[in-house]
Amino acid sequence: MARKPTPAGTPQTTGVGHVVDLVRAAIPPLHPAGLPFVLVPLGVAAVGRKRKWIRRAGLLSAGACATFFRHPHRVPPNRQGVAVAPADGEVALVDSAVPPAELHMGSEPVPRVSIFLSVLDVHVQRSPVGGAVRGVTHKPGEFLSADLPDASDKNERNSMLLETADGQYVAVVQIAGLIARRIVCDAKVGDTLPIGDTYGLIRFGSRVDTYFPHGTKLLVERGQRTIGAETVIAQLP
């Protein structure tokens, strides 16, 4: 690979390698769960390449799926005792609510932040805190619009309970939406997740609720946009 020095003396990739570097910098990586959704329409485009409308439809579909399943690199904050957004999206609720029963966090309301993901948002989910996975439970349910308050109780969901190093319990719940039909959770009981680590994904439009211990100070407002793994949403007690 050819290299030539910049005026400042820093090596710079040229030729094909430079183009590849630019593409990698501009296009986020693809989450593995999205690979079949990209390869199938690409295959259709290849098979139907002699028909312009088939080729274009296949390429457009592959591009749309690649955009949906994008998995951008994120850098969590170094601050101690904070929780980050588990997803990209819009804060739908900042309140107190009783956690799902399967989490065994009691029957008293605790601080909660709910984030709604549109089909245009990055759809991977990230650990809001660093900690050990103490529980993972999938519960079947309905597919109401994810921006409705009832979605937390009635929709299909996957709940994960985390215990931080100092013994605080934080729960994050993936909730299916109106057109979401698949929740992916790669975390298992006994795993240890760093803060901001990707652990799951929801297809195609969804919501993520995070429940915190009493005494937590919530740091976001309804309507605010969040960046998964980077936006600080709470200060733990």
**Residue 89's closest CA among 73, 66, 110, 113?**
113
DSSP letter string, 32-69: GGGHHHHHHHHHHHHHTTTSHHHHHHHHHHHHHHHHHT
Of 79, 178, 96, 162, nearest to 125 (Cα)? 162
Backbone φ and ψ for 118, nearest 5 degrees, come out as -80, 170
Determine contact, residues 159/125, Cβ cutoff 8 Å: no
Concatenating the DSSP letter of every residue in 96-133 gives EEPPPGGG---SS-EEEEEEEE-TTS--EEE-SS-EEE
- 114 among known catalytic residues: no
User: Residues 216, 217, 219, 220: what is their CA dihedral angle, to the nearest 10 degrees?
Assistant: 70
Name the nearest CA neighbour of 16 among 31, 1, 26, 6.
1
Residues known to be catalytic: 206
